[in-house]
Structures are given as structure tokens and as C-alpha cells.
Structure 1
């Protein structure tokens, strides 16, 4: 049997999943808005405040599915119809949620929120997670797969942006999205394994200060920031800031700052709308030469050649033969 015949056979065996999204408006005297979404293996969807407002959204599925919820901005709570337990998500948090057939999730958001949802079939999820991997929570009932939400790092956030901004179409876009979702799954499991090794010793008040520092870094990339200025703004001292930030996020303050600057500059480069000098200024470099040097050290190539390198070698980290295999599984 040829590769194309195998591919056709597998497509015939694909099961289509149906998601029903019900947008509930308690104030208006109208019927809830209902959207039906179909997918076979995976589906990515953005939720924005301007689309749904602060009204609850109820999600049901006709088959067992996994939902990866990324809270990009704002706050969100997720409640299952079969349980009283509520899962809370703050900005830059994510988790994997198992949604059994016949149950529903109600999502309530606050603030100027932005969520990214990735829905996965159980077949897809089990195929691309290690067979012997023991998730801390059971998949027999609706629950978060990780006991505590994980931190949405700049690298994970950038992968989500790559999927959204991808200008491929048709089968190539589908293949690209699939590869990126598999990459996300691998990085999430690796992140959880790393965080298990670090004891959670921070009080909630200390963790909130570190979240504030993280937000200040990410929202002011063009401004000069020092350990002392960040510590003062968060109401802590420099020693605690360096220790607690590393415990909570697995990276140093300056390591996170550099990663944010580089990932932001990478996003702007890919749009093709900005000159190198403009990007350097927007991520806090007074001199373009200093930015170019930092970029090359971080990514291994100059900003001027980055987009060409990405197109020919960086969109995928495997060869054409591997792409053909991926198309068939």
C-alpha cells in the first residue's frame, strides 16, 4: 500500500467531533447564541472580550475531548456540570482539562480577557503523550490534568502566536498547526516535570508580588528596568525578588526579560512591518548594534537573515521525509 493510500484510509477512519458553544446573556431577553464547531483531531480557537463580553460560555462535546486553556490576559474560571469544584485561571496560566462526553464546562471571564483554547481528540492526545506517562490527576472524570496551573512562558506564548499568524493555507496550514500543537504538548510535560523538582515554598502574597514583577517586565519592554527598581515597585527586596522569581517561574529576572524582548522582536520581524532600528527601540535597546548582537546570541542568526532562515529551515525542525510520516499519523 502506498503512502497516499494509507493516508486516504486513515482519513476515512477519522471521527468527527462536535463542540457546542452556548453564549449565555443573562441581561438580554433573547435566546442564547449557539455555535457548533466540528473537528476530527484538533482545533484552536481564540476567545476575546469583545466577542463574548463577560457573559458565561458553556461548552459541550459529543465525544470525550481534552481542552488546553491558555489565559493570555484577564481572569477566568471553569466549572464542570458534574462537579462543584471551580478551576481558576489568572493571566499567564494554563492547564489541560478533560471534558467527558455528556458533561459541560461553563467558562466565566473577567476583565479585558483573552483566552486561547486548543481542543484535542482523545486519540490525538494519547498518541502524542508518552504511553507510560502518569498524569497526577485521573482522566476518568472532568478535571485539570495538572494539580496547579502552569506558567505560560514567552516560548509557549510565541508558539501560540506562530500558529495564529501562520500564512500557510489548506493542508500545509493543517500540518503546521499539528506540528506546533505536538511541540506545545512536549514543552508542557517537560515544564511540569521541571516544576515538580522545585518545592512550592512561596506564600500567596509573595507569589502575587512575583506576578506583578513579571507583568511589569512584559508590559514595559522598551523601558530600562533594574532589579532594584522592580523590587521597590513590587514591595520586596532584591534578594527575595531574585530567589522567589526563580522559584515561581524557573528563570532569572533578567533571563525572563531577555526572553520576552527576543520573542517580541521575533514576532515583529515576522510581520515584515518594522525596520531593525524600530524593533530595537521598541524592546529597549538604544543602539541597533547592541540589539543585533543580543538577537544573534539568542537565536543564532542575525535579525536581517532570520525570516529567510525560518522559512527554509525553521518552520519545521524535521526534514521532508518526516513531514510525510507526520501527515500519515
Structure 2
């Protein structure tokens, strides 16, 4: 650890990882207090009151899942000076926080913020990651064995061939600009972190979730439609879309109109529809419908509600309309759920 330009440099491999030996259940990852690693190099035992930073590591056969939550007590610069981390491909998803990735010798970095993601391969240790103090972070990071990574890339995608060749040549890789975390990824992230299984079954299910999340990420970052990348969305507009998603997730049973949502968020109706679809890949009301149907499934399967009760709770006046929407979502009638 060293202090450079008012930033505390932390060597990533110095942050301890859970040893997989003796842990057949991947959910038995340890929660590590790394507050001391973020302390000042001049006052290593002195931290601001109330400060806490924790890591949770889960080892899978071909990948490591790391979750970081907390605040940096000081400005930090994460570097890879030693260890095996640089040999792995890395996938990073920011559920909260903001950080800048710098390439050695460059003056301009790549900023990744809440709700965004990026991918990197850094075999020559050329990147550093800069984070500011007093910023809340919730980061999900995957370290994946390169051979395994190459094995699950889709062979019919041009970007997959390019990534494979660059890894085999030990060339650095990073997305030119972060992509937004999609709704599909959010669902799989929840499945990954809430996996109810243990042992080998958990390893298979969790590693499958990692593959799904990373493939969605690579598709968003590296595909090139007709030679053009999708138009970038300003950070403020992304924040509006993210705030709308959080609002709908908490209030999906309420009656919503596009006009009322536009007034609530102070955005033109057409722009609000465009932002949500651009960031999350689905419309506002498709998202509300998905939330309702997933809730209906829980009501029927877990709470043992009758179909008519579930329809009433979700605001359907006609149970047949509810059954049709349920079957469209899940492929089965609600009466067939056991």
C-alpha cells in the first residue's frame, strides 16, 4: 500500500480470498472486513468513525464471485502489482458507486457508475481503478478462468472470435464505454446471490448464472450493429431510468399512467418511454406486467392463493384476463401451478 497524489494505492491480490479447500458448499464464502486495507498509510490504525468495508467471496470450479459493499475512507487506487488476478478475465457490475479505470500513460479514463457494467482482461497489469472517499459502493465482480471463458463464448458471434484471439495473444481488453445492467441480468444476479441449493448442485447453478450474466454483458459491450454502436445516454438520463425502475419495483401494484409517471419524474412522456426501453430493453408497462406475474406466481405457489384471489390482488376485474396474461408469461395456466 502506498500514497500517490492523495490516493491510497491498494494491490488487489493483497485483499484476501477464501481458500476453496475444505469448502464443498460454495455459499460458505467468507465475509472479510477489509477496512484496515483502506486506512491511511500514514495512520494505518486510524479510520473515520462508523466506516466499514466488507468483501464476500464465493469460489466456484471455474470462477470466483466477489461482492464488495461499503465506503472507502480515503481516495483509493486499485492496482494489480503481483499475484494471479491479472491472469483471469474480469466482469464487473456496479449496483452502486462510481469508479474510473485508467490505462497507464493515458490522461482520460473510463467512468463506470451505478447501474453500469464493464469487462476487462489485463494480462500485463496496465489498468488501475480510482475510487473516491465517502462514496457508497456495492460491486459484483467475477474472475473467470480464461480457458473456461473461451469455452462458453458463442461461436457464431464475430465479437466472440475477436475476444478469443485477443486473449490467446495476451492482449488487454476493456469495453470502450460501460453498458447498462439489463433487467435480465438483474434477475439472474438475484438467482445467483439467493441460490437455495448446496454442494455440487449449487456450484452448477451458480456457475451457470455467472455465464448468463457475462454473456449478456459481452453482447451489450462488444456487438456492433451495422457497424454502429447504440447511442450513449447521458448519466442524468440513466439516473432517471434507474430511479423509475426502482419506483416501479416498489409500487408495481399501484395504478400507473404514462402521464402520471412523466409528471412524477419531470420528464416528457416520450422521452421517459425511450429512456426506459434504451436502458433496460423492455417497455415500462411490460416491466410492470412482468413484476405482477412473478408476484402472482409466488401468491399461487408459495402462499397457496386461489387463482381468483391472485387476480383480485393484482387488480384484475376479470380472472380470465389474468389467466391469459399468466399463461403468456409462464406458458402454463395459473390453475396448473402446484
TM over 0.5: yes
Render the CA deviation track for 1:262-319: whole Å, top value 9, x for unaligned: 45666x67995x5658xx99xx82359576654432122356866x6xxxxxxxxxxx
**Alpha-carbon contact 1:269-1:303 (below 8 Å) kept:** no
Matches within 5 A, 1:1-329: 19-21=13-15, 23=34, 24-27=37-40, 29-30=44-45, 41-49=62-70, 56=76, 58=78, 60=80, 61-62=83-84, 63-72=86-95, 74-80=96-102, 82=104, 84=106, 85-100=108-123, 102=125, 105-106=128-129, 108=131, 111-130=135-154, 133-134=158-159, 142-144=172-174, 146-192=175-221, 196=225, 199-200=230-231, 206-262=237-293, 272=302, 276=305, 285-286=314-315, 294-301=325-332
Q: Could you say which structure has the higher helix fraction?
A: 1
Distance in 2 (CA, whole Å) between partners of 1:300 and 1:130 is 27
Aligned partner of residue 79 in structure 1, secondary structure:
strand
Q: TM-score, normalised by structure 2?
A: 0.64
Distance in 2 (CA, whole Å) between partners of 1:228 and 1:143 is 43
Paired residues in the alignment total 280
What residue in structure 2 maps to residue 311 of structure 1? none
Render the CA deviation track for 1:19-57: whole Å, top value 9, x for unaligned: 5427432355339999897776211122222xx655648
Unaligned runs of 5+ in 1: 1-17, 309-329
Distance in 2 (CA, whole Å) between partners of 1:294 and 1:163 is 27
Query: Structure 1 92/275 Cα, relative in aligned 2: closer, same or farther at 3 Å?
Result: farther
Render the CA deviation track for 1:94-138: whole Å, top value 9, x for unaligned: 121223255664463765432211111111111111456336886
Query: Structure 1 227/195 Cα, relative in aligned 2: closer, same or farther at 3 Å?
Result: farther
Unaligned runs of 5+ in 2: 1-11, 17-33, 48-52
**Alpha-carbon contact 1:65-1:101 (below 8 Å) kept:** no
**Alpha-carbon contact 2:90-2:119 (below 8 Å) kept:** yes
Q: TM-score, normalised by structure 1?
A: 0.65
Query: Structure 1 275/116 Cα, relative in aligned 2: closer, same or farther at 3 Å?
Result: farther
Backbone CA RMSD of aligned residues: 4.3
4+ residue runs over 6 A deviation:
31-39, 135-138
Distance in 1 (CA, whole Å) between partners of 2:56 and 2:247 is 39
Aligned partner of residue 134 in structure 1, secondary structure:
helix
**Alpha-carbon contact 1:21-1:35 (below 8 Å) kept:** no
